[in-house]
């Protein structure tokens, strides 16, 4: 079921998404959010395992699937057989971008190598998302998001200093690889406008994670400094932490910039802290981070959350609640910006989910429909490719689709 939206910035761009789980499909989701026609190719019978993952409805339907498969059309196709590969080549001949997240060499084994695809569609952009990239000694290994998070350095820095490394509560490594794959696809589209030719976008999970690691590699190389786990704070960045309130809640205050800290000191009724040698500068606060956090926590605990936030905002100090999903649904800013939207699938089931980001003023993206049924659009896509009813029926009877 389609929700009416104006054409997005990628309207007219056809994307074929092969693969499963998160890393590759998240790239497909982002491209679909921006208006591309995303045709998801799934194996006949089972389809993408994401159809079964995560929390489910009372009927057993995945609540992850409607989000990651939104704005996509689903076709079933057995890529392991010659007839299925022929259908795939015909589809890719009429497409702009292929997104896949198989192990390196899989497309080549299926007679879908970049070189063969470029023979008939030289403008095709081939986005390849893997754990370790298309080259190097680790390339053949199976690569999951959690492994990439560990190899890229994120897992080591996540958690409390006196405990083993923890993890984020989401599949951040996969999503980062999909995000960088999207950036690469858009850059390749721009290059194609000049050259007329496509290229390979090689997005490795561990490298996408590594790209987010700020100066940690440089610090080690330049001065031998290894960042360590620091829990809820960043070393030398103070104050920027979660502080308790009188109603057994907490808020996050970010006042690490010198001018902002002076505003916080004023709100606290302690303006002298802004000129105290221990706290007056960024570097000084970094050296006295723990005692400053304890001082602020003692002050914040005397106020209820609403009262404290009102004081801080009035004083120009960045602060906010630590949101859970229920808080998002109740928040007026989320509502005013339509940050959470509702959409339906073809069965009329309604789902709430996060809206498209970023927002484009002239050609905004949108959530047009929730994840499709397995193979919902197979016959329509094949008809568009020139297959007649008899040809489609034969593909069905041969279990190719």
Q: What is 14-212+335-397's CATH topology?
A: Rossmann fold (3.40.50)
What contacts 214, CB < 8 A, 6 or more positions away?
none
Question: In degrees rounded to 5, what are phi and psi of residue 353?
Answer: -160, 165
Contact 58, 70 (CB under 8 A): no
Q: Where in the chain is the domain with CATH 3.40.50.10540?
A: 14-212+335-397
Task: Give the integer Cα–Cα distance in Å for 293 and 54.
Answer: 37
Of the candidates 90, 5, 4, 3, the one whose C-alpha atom is nearest the C-alpha of residue 41 is 90
Of the candidates 84, 85, 132, the one whose C-alpha atom is nearest the C-alpha of residue 104 is 132
Q: Helix or strand or coil: residue 254?
A: strand
CATH 3.90.226.10 fits 240-323, yes or no: no
Which pLDDT belongs to residue 4? 67
Global pTM?
0.94
Task: Give the integer Cα–Cα distance in Å for 173 and 67.
Answer: 18
* β-strand partners of 244: 250
Q: Where in the chain is the domain with CATH 3.30.1540.10?
A: 240-323
* CB crowding 51-74: b at 16 or more within 10 Å, else e: beeeeeeeeebbebbbbbbbbbbb
Task: Give the integer Cα–Cα distance in Å for 380 and 396.
Answer: 14
- Out of 78, 96, 174, 293, pick the active-site residue: 174
Which pLDDT belongs to residue 3? 61
Which pLDDT belongs to residue 1? 53
Which pLDDT belongs to residue 346? 85
In angstroms and rounded to an integer, the radius of gyration of the C-alpha atoms of the chain is 25
Q: Is 222 left (phi over 0), alpha (psi -120 to 50) or beta?
A: alpha
User: In the chain, what are the helix, strand and coil shares in percent, each to the nearest 5?
Assistant: 40, 15, 45
Contact 375, 43 (CB under 8 A): no
Task: Give the integer Cα–Cα distance in Å for 213 and 162.
Answer: 21
Which pLDDT belongs to residue 60? 86
Which pLDDT belongs to residue 93? 98
What contacts 159, CB < 8 A, 6 or more positions away?
165, 166, 229, 231
* DSSP-assigned states of every residue in 54-87: S-B-TT--BSSHHHHTTTEEEEE--TTSHHHHHH
Contact 293, 238 (CB under 8 A): yes
Instruction: Give alpha helix (H) positions in 79-163.
Output: 82-93, 106-109, 114-120, 145-151, 154-157
Contact 198, 265 (CB under 8 A): no
* CB crowding 273-306: b at 16 or more within 10 Å, else e: bbeeeebbeeeebeeebeebbebbbebbeebebe
Task: Give the integer Cα–Cα distance in Å for 105 and 291.
Answer: 55
Each residue's pLDDT, cut to its tens digit, for the chain (401 residues) gives: 556 677 899 999 999 999 999 999 999 999 999 999 999 999 999 899 999 999 999 888 899 999 999 999 999 999 999 999 999 999 999 999 999 999 999 999 999 999 999 999 999 999 999 999 999 999 999 989 999 999 999 999 999 999 999 999 999 999 999 999 999 999 999 999 999 999 999 999 999 999 999 999 999 999 999 999 999 998 889 999 999 999 999 999 999 999 999 999 999 999 999 999 999 999 999 999 999 999 999 999 999 999 999 999 999 999 999 999 999 999 999 999 999 999 999 888 999 999 999 999 999 999 999 999 999 999 999 999 999 999 999 999 999 99
Q: Is 353 left (phi over 0), alpha (psi -120 to 50) or beta?
A: beta
Q: Decide if 276 is catalytic.
A: no
Task: Give the integer Cα–Cα distance in Å for 112 and 99.
Answer: 12
Helix 258-267 / helix 305-314 crossing angle, nearest 10 deg = 130
């Amino acid at each position: 079921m389609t929700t009416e939206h104006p054409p997005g910035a990628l309207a007219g761009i056809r994307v074929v998404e092969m693969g499963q789980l998160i890393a590759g499909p998240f790239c497909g989701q982002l491209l679909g959010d921006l208006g591309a026609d995303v045709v998801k190719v799934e194996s006949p019978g089972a389809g993408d395992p994401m159809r079964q993952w995560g929390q489910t409805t009372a009927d057993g339907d995945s609540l992850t699937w409607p989000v990651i498969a939104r704005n996509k059309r689903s076709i079933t196709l057995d890529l392991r057989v010659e007839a299925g590969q022929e259908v795939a080549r015909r589809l890719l001949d009429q497409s702009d971008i292929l997104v896949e997240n198989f192990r390196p060499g899989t497309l080549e084994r299926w007679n879908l190598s970049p070189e063969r695809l470029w023979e008939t569609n030289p403008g095709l952009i081939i986005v390849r998302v893997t754990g370790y990239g298309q080259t190097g000694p680790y390339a053949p290994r199976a690569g999951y998001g959690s492994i990439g998070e560990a190899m890229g350095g994120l897992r080591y820095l996540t958690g409390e200093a006196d405990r083993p490394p923890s993890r984020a509560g989401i599949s951040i490594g996969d999503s980062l690889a999909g995000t960088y794959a999207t950036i690469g696809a858009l850059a390749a589209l721009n290059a194609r406008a000049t050259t007329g030719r496509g290229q390979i976008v090689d997005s490795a999970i561990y490298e996408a994670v590594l790209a987010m690691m700020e100066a940690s590699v440089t610090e080690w190389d330049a001065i031998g400094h290894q960042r360590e786990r620091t829990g809820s704070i960043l070393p030398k960045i103070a104050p920027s932490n979660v502080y308790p309130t009188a109603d057994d809640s907490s808020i996050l205050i970010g006042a690490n910039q010198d001018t902002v800290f002076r505003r916080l000191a004023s709100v606290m009724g302690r303006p002298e802290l802004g000129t105290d040698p221990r706290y007056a500068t960024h570097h000084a606060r970094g050296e006295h981070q723990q005692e400053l956090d304890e001082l602020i926590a003692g002050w914040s605990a005397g106020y209820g959350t609403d009262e404290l936030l009102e004081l801080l905002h009035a004083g120009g100090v960045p602060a906010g609640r630590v949101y859970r999903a229920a808080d998002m649904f109740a928040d007026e800013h989320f509502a005013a910006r339509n940050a959470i939207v509702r959409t339906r699938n073809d069965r009329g089931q309604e789902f709430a989910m996060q809206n498209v980001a970023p927002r484009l003023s002239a050609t905004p993206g949108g959530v047009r429909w929730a994840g499709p049924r397995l193979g919902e659009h197979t016959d329509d896509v094949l008809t568009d490719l020139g297959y007649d009813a008899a040809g489609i029926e034969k593909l069905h009877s041969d279990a190719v689709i």
